[in-house]
Amino acid sequence: MSKNIHTNTETSAQAGKQASTQAGMGDLEAILATQGGGGGFLRRWRLPLILVVIVLVGTYFLFGSDKDAGRVQYLATKVTTDNLVVKVSATGQLEPTNQVNVGSEMSGTVETVFVDDDDRVTKGQVLAVLELAKFKDAVARSQATVGVAQASVAQAQATVKEARARIERYREVAHLSGGKVPSKTEMDAAEAELARAEANVTSAQASVAQAEAALRSDETDLTKAHIRSPINGVVLERAVDPGQTVAASLQAVTLFTLAEDLSKMELKVDVDEADVGQVKAGLPANFTVDAWPGRRFEAQITRVGYNAINTDGVISYPGVLQVDNSDLSLRPGMTGTAEITTLTHENALLVPNAALRFSPPEAAPTKKTNRGLFGSMMMRPSSRTIPEPTAADGSRRIWVLRDGQAVPLKIKIGATNGRVTEIVEGELEAGMEVITEIASNK
C-alpha cells in the first residue's frame, strides 16, 4: 500500500513538472506572439532556444557557486630515512693495460709471417722476417772493409818498424864516426819519416774502428729484419702478409698490434665537466657492456686527467677505470657505461626533489560569493609554482601538509642523487608529509 502511494506521488510530481514546463513554453509563445513573432517563429526556433536555455542553466549550476573557491588540494609524500648513494655516469671504451704497436725500422719485402690474430707470443719471439739477401750482402761488405782496414794497420806498423830501424842505424854510424856522418839533414828526415809512419798506424787503426762500427750496424739491420715481439702477450691484429712491401720512413709502419695482459684492462671514459669535481682516484665503480646484458662489472677509478676534451662544445675530462678481466669475458674496444659512486650517506633524511621545487600559489578568496554565470568565467588565480630562493645562510623553505594546509619549514639541504635530496638541518622530521605539487583547484 505504501509503495503504491510513493509511486503515485512520484507520478504526480512528474506531471507537475511537465505542466510547469508546458506553462513556461506557453508563456514563451505568448511573449513571442505579443511581439509579432507568431506561431511560425516559435516552431522554427523552438529547438535552438531550448538548447541555449539548457546550456546556460547547466553552466550556472556548474560554475555559478563559489562555495569551495580557493580551496587547493595538494599531493604530498612522506619524509623517509634511507641510505643516499650519489653516482656519476660516464661512457668509454675498454683497452688493454699495455698495448704495443709493432712495426719495422727496415724497408723491404716481407718474406714470412709466423703468427696470426689471437696467437699468444713471448718476448723475443720472431713474428715475421723480411727478405734477408740485401742485409747479408751489406754485412759481407762491411766485413771486407774491416779486413782492408786491418791490413792497412799492419802495413803502417811495418813502415814504422822500418823507420825506427833506419834511425837506429844512423845513430850507430854517428857514434862510430864521431858525429861526422850521417849529416843532420839525413837524421831529421829519418825522424820525420818515423813520425809519419806512426801517424799512419793511428789512422789505420781508426779506419778499422770505423769499419767495425759499420759492420755492427749492418749486423743490427740484419737482426732487425727479423721482427720480434717486445712483450709477452696476445696478437690483437696482424696487418701484414707475405710479399707485402714495407717502406720504413720517419714513422714506423704498424705490422702487429699486441696486448700484454688481457686479464687486466682499462675502461677509459669521458667525465662531464659538471661531475669532474666529484670524481677522484680510488672511488668504486661498476659498468655494463652490450655483450653481457644484465651483468655488472666491478671497477675502480685510477686517474682523472686535467686535459680537457672539447666535443662539439661539450667539455669533458678523461678518466681511467681499472678492470679485472680474469675470465676474459671483456674484449678491447667494447663500449662500457660506467656508474661511479661518489658519495654514500647512511640513514639520511631524504625528500623528493619535487618538494624542493614546490611553492604554493597565491591564496584564493575564502569569502563566499555568487558571481553567477559570467563571474564564474573570469580567470582564476594561477596555480603555477615558483621555487623558493635560497637564503644568504644557505637555508630555504619547504612546505609540509598540516590539516590540509601548506605550512612552511626552514631547512638546509645536502647532497642529491637527482631524485632525492638529503636534509642536513631544520625542523623537518621523518614521517612528515612534504608537498610536491597541486592536485586540483576547485
The pLDDT value given to residue 95: 93
Q: What is the model's pTM? A: 0.60
Select from 240, 260, 280 the last residue of a domain.
260
Give the long-range contacts of residues 135-142, CB within 8 A, separation 24 or more.
Answer: 135/106, 135/108, 135/218, 135/221, 135/222, 135/225, 136/222, 138/218, 138/221, 138/222, 139/215, 139/218, 139/219, 139/222, 141/218, 142/211, 142/214, 142/215, 142/217, 142/218, 142/219
Q: Is the pLDDT of residue 14 over 50?
A: no
Q: Is the pLDDT of residue 183 over 60?
A: yes
Q: Is the pLDDT of residue 145 over 80?
A: yes
Please tell me whether residues 204 and 335 are part of one structural domain: no
| CATH number for 277 | 2.40.30.170
The pLDDT value given to residue 290: 95
What pLDDT band is residue 119 in, cutting at 50, 70 and 90? Answer: very high
The pLDDT value given to residue 32: 46
Q: Can you spell out the DSSP letters for 199-268?
A: HHHHHHHHHHHHHHHHHHHHHHHHHHTEEE-SSSEEEEEE---TT-EE---SSPEEEEEEES-TTEEEEE
What pLDDT band is residue 41 in, cutting at 50, 70 and 90? Answer: low
User: Stretch 95-117: mean pLDDT, rounded?
Assistant: 92
Please tell me whether residues 276 and 381 are part of one structural domain: yes
Rounded Cα distance between 119 and 234, Å, is 6
Please tell me whether residues 213 and 241 are part of one structural domain: no
| CATH number for 252 | 2.40.50.100
Please tell me whether residues 122 and 39 are part of one structural domain: no
Q: Is the pLDDT of residue 389 over 80?
A: no
Q: Is the pLDDT of residue 70 over 90?
A: no
Q: Which domain holds residue 53?
A: 2-63
Select from 209, 244, 260 the last residue of a domain.
260
Q: What share of the chain is helix, strand, coil (3-state, %, to 5)?
A: 35, 35, 30
pLDDT tens string 301-329? 999 999 999 999 999 999 999 999 999 99
Portion of the chain with pLDDT greater than 90, in percent: 57
CA-wise closest residue to 400 among 433, 371, 426:
433
- Amino acid in the structure at residue 4: N
The pLDDT value given to residue 62: 58
Please tell me whether residues 172 and 39 are part of one structural domain: no
- Contact of 142 with 215, CB cutoff 8 Å: yes
- Contact of 333 with 93, CB cutoff 8 Å: yes
Four-residue CA torsion sign, 38, 43, 46, 48:
negative
Please tell me whether residues 288 and 377 are part of one structural domain: yes
Domain tally, the chain? 4
Mean pLDDT across the chain, nearest whole number?
A: 82
Residue 316's contacts (CB-CB under 8 Å, 6 or more residues apart) are 270, 271, 272, 273, 276, 308, 309
Q: Is the pLDDT of residue 289 over 80?
A: yes
- Contact of 190 with 170, CB cutoff 8 Å: yes
Please tell me whether residues 430 and 298 are part of one structural domain: yes
Please tell me whether residues 191 and 278 are part of one structural domain: no
Rounded Cα distance between 190 and 88, Å, is 91
Q: Is 274 exposed, middle or buried (0-12, 13-18, 19+ CB in 10 A)?
A: exposed
Q: Is the pLDDT of residue 291 over 80?
A: yes
Residue 425's contacts (CB-CB under 8 Å, 6 or more residues apart) are 395, 411, 412
Rounded Cα distance between 151 and 144, Å, is 11
Please tell me whether residues 78 and 212 are part of one structural domain: no
What pLDDT band is residue 20 in, cutting at 50, 70 and 90? Answer: very low
Instruction: Choose between 155 and 42: higher pLDDT.
Output: 155
- Contact of 228 with 286, CB cutoff 8 Å: no
Please tell me whether residues 138 and 185 are part of one structural domain: yes
Please tell me whether residues 218 and 239 are part of one structural domain: no
Read off the C-alpha cell for 313.
Answer: 662544445
Select from 238, 260, 282 the last residue of a domain.
260
Read off the C-alpha cell for 345.
Answer: 650517506
Q: Is 322 exposed, middle or buried (0-12, 13-18, 19+ CB in 10 A)?
A: middle
Please tell me whether residues 124 and 194 are part of one structural domain: no
In angstroms, the Cα distances linking 321 to 40, 90, 122, 271 are 91, 11, 27, 11
Q: Is the pLDDT of residue 17 over 80?
A: no
Q: Is the pLDDT of residue 216 over 90?
A: yes
